[in-house]
């Protein structure tokens, strides 16, 4: 993660329940937020991003089955004390910065 941060990249958290440390059909959106926090703690706030992968090939958390539940993910971040700036970085700014740099 630190090498990715040094290169200006991002680490997207995939929503596969078993990758999040949850039982396959019992995943929770809170686990995604914990992973995002870990990435930020290790590599900095400019690195974590969403990596949903809602293409039908994963078993997402039961409370985050589609993009319609993204407000739940945001609420969890806010409930855990995230600043609005941190939320915005994870939702879009980190990825867009990295993409702009790549296309540069």
The pLDDT, as a whole number, for residue 90 is: 98
Q: Where are the domains of the chain?
A: 2-98
Average predicted confidence (pLDDT) for the chain: 94
CA dist 103 and 36 (Å) reads: 25
pTM: 0.94
- 8 or 104: which carries more pLDDT confidence? 8
The DSSP letter of residue 11 is E
Lowest mean pLDDT across 31-35, 46-50, 52-56, 76-80: 52-56
The pLDDT, as a whole number, for residue 57 is: 86
CB 28 within 8 A of CB 72: no
Tally of CB atoms within 10 A around 57? 7
CA dist 57 and 37 (Å) reads: 25
Which percentage of the chain shows pLDDT scores above 70? 100
């Amino acid at each position: 993660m630190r090498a990715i941060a040094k290169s200006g990249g991002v680490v997207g958290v995939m929503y596969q329940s078993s990758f999040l440390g949850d039982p396959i059909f019992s995943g929770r959106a809170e686990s995604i937020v914990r992973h995002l926090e870990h990435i930020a703690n290790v590599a900095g706030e400019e690195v974590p991003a969403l990596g949903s992968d809602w293409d039908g090939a994963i078993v997402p958390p039961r409370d985050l089955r589609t993009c319609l539940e993204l407000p739940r993910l945001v609420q969890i971040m806010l409930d855990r004390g995230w600043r609005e700036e941190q939320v915005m970085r994870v939702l879009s700014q980190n990825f867009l910065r990295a993409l702009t740099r790549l296309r540069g």
